[in-house]
Structure 1
Amino acid sequence: MHAMQYAVTLPADYDMEIVRRRVATKGHLLDAWEGLRLKAYLVRERGAHGSPVNQYAPFYLWNTLAGMNAFLWTGPFQGIVDDFGRPSVRQWAGLAYEEGVAARSRARVAVLRRRQVPDGALLSDFMADAARESGRLAGEDGAILSASAVDTSRWEVIHFSLRENHPPEADGDVYEVLRICAPGRGRSPG
């Protein structure tokens, strides 16, 4: 499994309905994308849930690198580049994925938390703890799924979760989920 996200930060007075319409009309393009486990179409609006910015920031879980590369090099990503410029695309190697206690519910909220791997940490223990954290997050009331991944160029671990409701104490960036497509959610990574 591979995780990927890019964020398009928009002006403070940007009409976020433009993004909502874009997702409503183009979101179906990945509904059957080969190698894609899940795409969460995410937005943050300035002032909502503590967000300092307006942002379109979809998050992806890929079962295959071939699917991810096809999306980036020959797929709908070119539309983002054409309309908003070429954003930096963050990628993480997957550590864990867990279906949540509310796995069949509609995702309304996503939370993305980042943690630095401390210098001197025993990597095997730290990564095992990060994987266990996915299980803990998946067990929370309202959790649909949870994933953990690591970027070894920055030694950063992320915890991503989809939820049916806003958690009482969200530790991380909180996003509104506009749409989910999950052609490979039930499949094992390739």
Structure 2
Amino acid sequence: MIAMQYSFVLPADYDMAVIERRVASKGHLLDGFPGLLLKAYLSANKRGGGPTDNLYAPFYLWRDNEAMSAFLCGPGFVAVSQAFGWPAVQTWSVWHAEQAADVARARYATRETLAIAPHTALERLRADETAAARLSFERDGALAVAVGFEPGTWTLVRFSLWREPDGGAGGDREQRYAVGHVSLPNNSGAARHPGV
């Protein structure tokens, strides 16, 4: 399983309602995309004490590299990169992921990326992060959790979807998002060409 995210930083005066309308009209087009386990359409709005930037930053969980490549090489990614620019695409090998049956009701997300120190005992880190993700899912009410690592830059990612905006630890390395739509494998029987 592979986690993937790209992020577009939008101008400070950008009308974020444009993103909301785009997701509302096109988000469902990725429902049922082959090999897609989850796509959360994420945005962050600078106004109202939010993040320092306006962001559009979808987060994906792919079954495997073949499925991820099919999307990145296809018309959906072409359309989004023509609309917003050519993004750097981050990927992580997933150590653990799970989701609730009602994950499509998620309205908020948190994502935290951390550096993995040299010579870290990776098997111990994997076990600890998996246990923490399970606890967040079982006790804290997360609708979905994923944790993974990327050995090129030695980074760790923690991702969660929530019903309420107060989910997550709220640390200074945590990015919070609004969720406009969640695409899943069983939302629809056939893949279309999204452009979202």
Per the TM superposition, whether the score is higher than 0.5 is yes
**Per-residue deviation, 1:7:** 0.3
Residue 89 to residue 184, structure 1, CA distance change in 2 (3 Å): farther
Q: Distance in 1 between matches of 2:44 and 2:62?
A: 23
Q: CA deviation at 1:49?
A: 5.8
Distance 1:140 1:129, change over 3 A: same
Distance 1:159 1:184, change over 3 A: farther
Structure 2 match to 1:11: 11
Please report how far the alpha carbon of residue 184 of structure 1 lies from its aligned counterpart in structure 2 after TM superposition: 6.0
Partners of 1:117 and 1:155 in 2: CA distance: 5
Q: Partners of 2:48 and 2:157 in 1: how far apart? A: 22
Cα distance in 2 for residues equivalent to 1:41 and 1:34: 17
Give the aligned partner of residue 143 of structure 2. 144
How many residues are aligned here? 183
Counterparts of 1:34 and 1:48 in 2: how far apart (Å)?
38
1:8-157 correspondence runs (5 A): 8-48=8-48, 50-99=50-99, 103-104=101-102, 106-157=105-156
Alpha-carbon spacing, 1:49–1:96, altered in 2? closer, same or farther (3 Å): farther
What's the Cα RMSD here?
1.7
Gaps of 5+ in 1: 186-190
SS at match of 1:180: strand
Q: Which runs of 5+ in 2 are unaligned?
A: 188-196
Q: Tell me: CA distance 1:184–1:135, structure 2 relative to 1, closer, same or farther (3 Å).
A: farther
Q: Which residue in 1 is equivalent to 2:184? A: 182
Secondary structure, aligned partner of 1:111: strand
Letter in 1 for 2:107: R
Change (3 A) 1:104 1:14: same
TM-score w.r.t. the length of structure 1 is 0.90
Q: Give the TM-score, by structure 2 length.
A: 0.87
| Runs of 4+ with deviation above 4 angstroms | none
Q: Which shows bigger deviation, 172-181 or 74-83?
A: 74-83
Amino acid at match of 1:183: P
Letter in 2 for 1:3: A
Quick one: percent identity of the two aligned structures?
37
CA gap of 1:76–1:108, structure 2 versus 1, over 3 A, is same
Superposed CA deviations along residues 75-101 of structure 1, whole A, max 9, x for unmatched, are 30111111111111100111001235x
Mapped to 1, the partners of 2:61 and 2:53 lie a distance apart of: 24
The one of the two structures with greater contact order (alpha-carbon pairs below 8 A, sep at least 6) is 2
CA displacement at 1:74 relative to structure 2 = 1.5
